[in-house]
Structure 1
Amino acid sequence: MQYHIALSRKFNLEDIDQEAQAGKRPGHVMWNIGQLLGAKIYVPGGESILPSDKMNARIMGNPEQWALARKLSTQLGEDDVVFCAGEDIGIAIAKICSKLAKRPKIVIFNQNIERLRVYLALKLFRLRDKIDFFMTASPSQADFLRRYFSLPEDRICLFTEQPTDISFFTPGSASPHKRRPIIGSGGLEKRDYVTLAAATKDLDVDVNICAFSPDIKALSKSFPKVIPSNMSHRYYDWSDLKQLYRDSDVVAVSLFPNNYQAGQSTLFEAMACRRPVVVTQSPGIIQDLVNAGCAIGVDFGDAVGMKQAIISLLNDPEKAEAIAQRGYELVQKQYNHKNYIESFTAKLTSRYGSPSKTADLVNSSRT
């Protein structure tokens, strides 16, 4: 079986891997998975855009993704397996390849299949039986697939491993220029910095936020209209982000309600740097971490509860260290990029067989 990986947006995994090897940033699990599977990796961009691509993109995705799907449909057959890293590129490939007499096996990692646009696209294009395997990190997403698409269990995979690169995100010393306690945070997806601001505006702390995501735009309601004087938010490069975690006395992940496990990257990166975490409670992995004593959970919108949790950690270093250590040990043991790569590869090869090409024949797209 020949494996392929289709990414939702354009970036170069080989360059990322070289920077990761130099210690400049975390690695990307899809590069390592591609190497193990002997997979060619595809990114949108470079193909000619047709009117039909623009028309389909009005329903789902973007024209570049549909153009890539058209290209792949001319190259792939029944002996190919295509892993699609998101619903957008996955729906495009599944729709275009559905016309083939001998189509490839299609695997999609679902980020938020309950979103109305995604659900309607799947229904409109009648893709229930054109997508062979649905993967998701969220229990609610898996339940949605069962309820609304009547999928059997053998076509759904709840995959809760985490791609946190523990060779990059490591414990380390705080900056010598640190003036007072720091509450660190990061990310834009479903972030509720209004509650975090209310919880910390009267505390003698600096609240430093890495407010950047390559995939997500900030919600208009994410930040308070007036930023407190002790709060700042900006772009951090990877090295600065790692230092932000190391400088943080507490990492706070304040979230709006969601059903697709938002906030986990920040949560696990902080734990890998052995920092204590306060997080908005959410069903699934986050709740499991709170129950295991690896983080302190607070209710959505509960500024008083978040303030009390932060103060309890600032005033009790032993408690903070114990929580940080439990989280660190769990990431080292379970929730890390090494386990993700091994488990992910095993899921595909156990279902579709060993790759027909070895790793040294991998040909990564450099467009």
Structure 2
Amino acid sequence: MTTRLRGRWARAAALIALAGGTLAVSAAPATAAPQTVRILSVSAENVKPGETVRVRFRVTNNGSGAETAIVVVGGGLRCTTGCRAEPNLGPGQSQTFDAALVAPDAHPGETTGLNISIGVRLGEQNSFDYKMVYVHGPGTSSPGEDKPAAGVSRVSGRVRDTGGKAIGGVALAIRDSAGHEFRATSDRGGQFSITPSAGRTIAAGPITVAATMDGYRTARTTVRGKAGSTATVRLTLSAVAAPATTPPSPSPAAAESPVAADGTPEAAPPTLKTVGDEGSSSHLSFILGGLLIAAGLGALALVVMRRRNASDETAAAGGSVADAPTAVLRTVPAARGLPDPYGPVLPGDIPRNGYRG
């Protein structure tokens, strides 16, 4: 291979290496682009009510053109300075900001976790970053410790019903010997767990756990927790018995007096007694026969009595009905010269005045 050819190959290799290096360098920022907003530091994570927390954060424009960023600082703490900004950032340009916030009040013996929220609207996109800060109320342990003070490492347990079935969704209230209160909810397997955190210690000694849920009686138990150990709790909930509802029995009057369709009571049907077929039929036939005989004798006696009365009346009148003569009476018209419709009066006829001439 000649010297000229070797020089050409060397120049080609250098160009290839340069191109590869350029591609590698240009690809690196795309894969590791900075966040649009990022909290860099917080002055304190554990504070007392009224203390000031300072936060520093950075805003970066990852777009290809200049944009105006709208920055808002808020969250659970009250922002006092640096709460809002509208910087004009070029492509890839970043800017750092500082803000101050004040911790709110907290109840005695309670520790509240609140977020510091930084929101940025850049172009058509919204970006956020958060940082948790713990506010300790009066009577709590001093803040700022990496580890909790010596106390119970965990309170855990399970909630079941009287049949041994796990109950989920049970509200649990835990109170330690120092008066600190914790709350939890059992999962689908009936299990729950409470662990301490910085500034939120579970004091050793008697720990009272109460479980409440609709449809069950409240269960309460007390266990003794030892420093550095786990306190295990077992709770059993008894279901509240639903009141039994039985329909009222009908009164004797209602049972004996049915109601008609129009609402008026119907007459109660007569009570019938069951009688044997053989004895009842023979007894009924005997009674009917006796009644028929008595009726016939009574009618016969009535006829005889009437005949006898009629005979007595005829004898008293001086004769009998059979002896009375039968006569045909004619009405003779008055002597006015009118023709008699029955013809001339014959000897033996009765004139119209009722006397013979």
More strand by share: 2
- Between 1 and 2, higher relative CO (CA 8 Å, sep ≥ 6) is seen in 1
Structure 2 length normalisation: TM-score? 0.19
Larger radius of gyration: 2
Normalising by structure 1, report the TM-score.
0.18
